[in-house]
Structure 1
Amino acid sequence: MTEVVRLNAVSKVYGKGQSAVAALREVSVGIPKGTFTAIMGPSGSGKSTFLQCAAGLDLPTAGSVQLGGTELTGMTETALTELRRQRVGFVFQAFNLVSSLTVIENITLPLRLAGVKADGAWLAEIVRRVGLDGRAGHRPAQLSGGQQQRVALARALVTRPEVVFGDEPTGALDTMTAREVLVLLREVVSTLGQTVVMVTHDPVAASYADTALFLADGRIVDSMSMPAAEKVAERMTRLGAWK
């Protein structure tokens, strides 16, 4: 299968000398196109650093990162910003919506920033798929938390990115609403062929993915295909996540 993201011997060290902290240690992994991958591990295991390096938000100290065949290492910040805007979608725990903009204006914001006109048919399909029909003119304050995260997901999809990165995207939602968002993420993988990489601490969230990768002390220590929530929870316990 074609790999959308490839990390080769990626290490990330913060600080220097005695105070240096290794967040990632020689991580090598490929994320296949059209798959849903959950990144799991205890607090401090390197999950967020993995996402930041894979998405071009941060550059590794050593090793290389490729996104869609493009080598990110050595790119200027301007080039990286352009690449992220055009080829990567992001969904965070905080919805990061602009309160003064309507739903449709928030969704199309990445296109406006890039000076690109929205594809009307694609925009309408995304709005329908994420269940925001009839809400296009609403502002974030008029929406529930789940609806706001749907706006954020639609915004991540509007540029037709090669990969969507989620950093605890259901972390601020109640159980029922979180499940709805996870079903949506699963659907965009299964029906649109989207690639999703999601950092999560929640075994139930991980169970929606095709593969779970487990990080501990900055290394990938295990992977699990078709991860069931109870198996993920048991594996996390053995990583020391919930001692």
Structure 2
Amino acid sequence: MSRALTTTSVGTSALRLESVTKTYGSGENSVTALRDVSIALDRGTFTAVMGPSGSGKSTFLHCAAGLDQPTSGSVLLGDVELAGMKEAALTAVRRDRVGFVFQAYNLMSALTVEENVALVPRLSGHEVDRAWLRELLGRVGMGDRADRRPSQLSGGQQQRVAIARALVNRPEVVMADEPTGALDTRTGRQVLELFRQLVLELGQTVLMVTHDPVAASYADSVVFLADGRIAGRMHHPTAAQVSEFMTNLGEV
């Protein structure tokens, strides 16, 4: 049974950053990682973020996910303003409305595949929706390995479990930070195809930071950062177009 992800927010934007600036430190030692960044991500879209080292990619993701607070500006996750929110409230929002996928899989070695995924709603104080959990495991190709432990899985299989875990609470946005960085080329492409499928079939919104033009080509659009600013945005990208833009980014 296919099940669309639902939210309670209004409007078409799953995520909006408005005039976001993030500065670390003060005085002569201050570093501005983001400078007046404004962008909106529509629901049911797959967006990649790229840029050279030090361009602000990680800070962008951290502010968008409520892991870090902007120095100024506004971050809206659906209809919820994250900027200025107290840490306890932010923790609840991240737990219930954001799914995270990292380069490291961060699975609990003592738990089975099913138990790893079910851990998220349990820690959130929610009842585990077994039908939804089974559907997710089937969608990520792990339905026949629900009783396996992480040590019995390949890296690609562990990342598929991590993706199911990110989706189990039906988040507003899935934030993926270099999700294919630890995978070989073939397995990495399978994971990217899975993200594409989740966007197309479930209406999931995905925001992915990557350094790989091929990975970025799976997205609906690519946002390019340079020196903490948005340097461009490309829709329906190809790997060759992304590579060329990145090569010339210093001239943009």
User: Which whole-Å CA distance do the structure 2 matches of 1:12 and 1:95 have between them?
Assistant: 28
Query: What is the match of residue 202 of structure 1?
Result: 212
Q: Is 1:10–1:62's contact at 8 Å kept on the other side of the alignment?
A: yes
Distance 1:144 1:48 in 2: 27
- Deviation of 1:211 after TM superposition, in Å, equals 0.5
Q: Distance in 1 between matches of 2:84 and 2:51?
A: 29
1:3-51 Cα deviation digits (max 9, x unpaired) = 0100010000111111111100000000100000000100110001000
Q: 2:142 aligns with which of 129, 132, 149?
A: 132
- TM-score, normalisation: structure 2: 0.94
Selected match of 1:166 from 159, 173, 176: 176
1:74 aligns with 2:84: yes
Match of 2:225 in 1: 215
Indicate yes or no: 2:123 matched with 1:110: no
Pick aligned residue for 1:181 from 188, 191, 200: 191
SS at match of 2:116: helix
- The residue aligned with 2:235 is 225
1:65 paired residue number: 75
Return the offset for 1:239.
1.5
Q: Detail structure 1 runs of 4+ shifted over 4 Å in the superposition.
A: none
2:25 aligns to what? 15
Structure 1, gaps ≥5 residues long: none
Find out whether 1:94 has 2:104 as its counterpart: yes
Once the two structures are superposed, residues 53-76 of structure 1 have per-residue CA deviations (whole angstroms, 9 ceiling, x without a partner) of: 001010001111000111111211
Give, in angstroms, the shift of residue 83 of structure 1.
Answer: 0.5
Give the counterpart letter for 1:166 in structure 2: A
Matches within 5 A, 1:23-34: 23-34=33-44
Q: Which of these residues, 43, 51, 54, is aligned with residue 41 of structure 1?
A: 51
CA RMSD of aligned residues (A): 1.1
Which residue does 1:119 correspond to in 2? 129
CA positional deviation for 1:144: 0.3
Which residue pairs with 2:8 in the alignment? none
Deviation at 1:240, TM superposition (A): 4.3
Aligned residue among 161, 166, 171 for 1:151: 161
Unaligned runs of 5+ in 2: 1-10
SS at the partner of 1:27? strand
TM-score (norm 1): 0.97
